[in-house]
Amino acid sequence: MDLKKFKKLILVIACLPAFTLHVSAQNSQNDSQQLKKFKEHLASIDASFVLPEGFTEVKPENSDKTAYEYALTMPNDDFEIRFQVNDLKREWKKFQRGKSGANTINPDSLYSKIAMDQVNSLSDQGPSFNRPFPARIMQFYNVDIGHSYFFSLANNDLTKHYQYALLVVIQKNHYGTISVVCLSNEKGPEFFKKINKLRNCLKFNG
């Protein structure tokens, strides 16, 4: 696939109504303990999640450089999703109390570091392509920041020897940053069709 076609696919996935359904009481009754804990963490940063159809919960693979707390896979298919949640509220309060200090860093500015830390932990080449979300898509997600990164994966146990990944990072300032990394052995249209199945899944509340 040439770069021009691939960039178009990245734009398509950035514009998909992905990660966007409110929690229903019926689904919550059957939640695993891992999913309940994940939803509680999301609720603490004013976000919500519903388990998408066709996906199975798996234990997230982590190292000393990653902090994924929830993961999904498609049975009988080479595709995995990992989620990481970073709570900004506490750090924002600290920043507010000491923002006059010369060395104080605005926690809302750290989203790119959060993204690159994940890319560097999973890849030995860095991102081959990245794109910010259009303003109208960020409004749809109720976020202040949205960005996607595509990269090749290192061949190791942390990546489960998958070949490619798309990382989506969304942030609601003062609340939190959510990272969703999609791992696959393909990077063509089928990869994005699988990602499309995640629509109606996750969003920040309005």
pLDDT, tens digit (0-9, with 9 covering 90-100), for 176-200:
999 999 999 998 898 988 988 887 7
pLDDT, tens digit (0-9, with 9 covering 90-100), for 12-63:
455 444 443 343 444 566 889 999 999 999 999 999 999 998 999 999 999 9
* Tokens read off for 173: 């300032």
Segment 62-86 mean pLDDT: 93
SS3 content of the chain, % helix, strand, coil (to 5): 35, 25, 40
CA atoms within 13 A on the CB side of 184: 20
**Angle, in degrees to the nearest 10, between helices 3-15 and 189-196:** 0
* pLDDT tops 70 at residue 123: yes
Indicate the class that CATH gives domain 3-204: alpha beta
Q: Which residues does residue 87 pair with via DSSP β-bridges, in sequence order? A: 176
Q: Please report which confidence band the pLDDT of residue 75 belongs to, taking 50, 70 and 90 as the band edges.
A: confident
Compute the distance between CA of residue 81 and CA of residue 74 in angstroms, rounded to an integer. Answer: 9
- Taking the domains of the chain in order of start, what are their residue ranges? 3-204
pLDDT, tens digit (0-9, with 9 covering 90-100), for 144-160:
999 999 999 999 999 99
Closest C-alpha among 177, 154, 179, 202 to residue 83:
179
* pLDDT tops 70 at residue 8: no
Compute the distance between CA of residue 71 and CA of residue 179 in angstroms, rounded to an integer. Answer: 12
Compute the distance between CA of residue 120 and CA of residue 93 in angstroms, rounded to an integer. Answer: 29
pTM score of the predicted model: 0.85
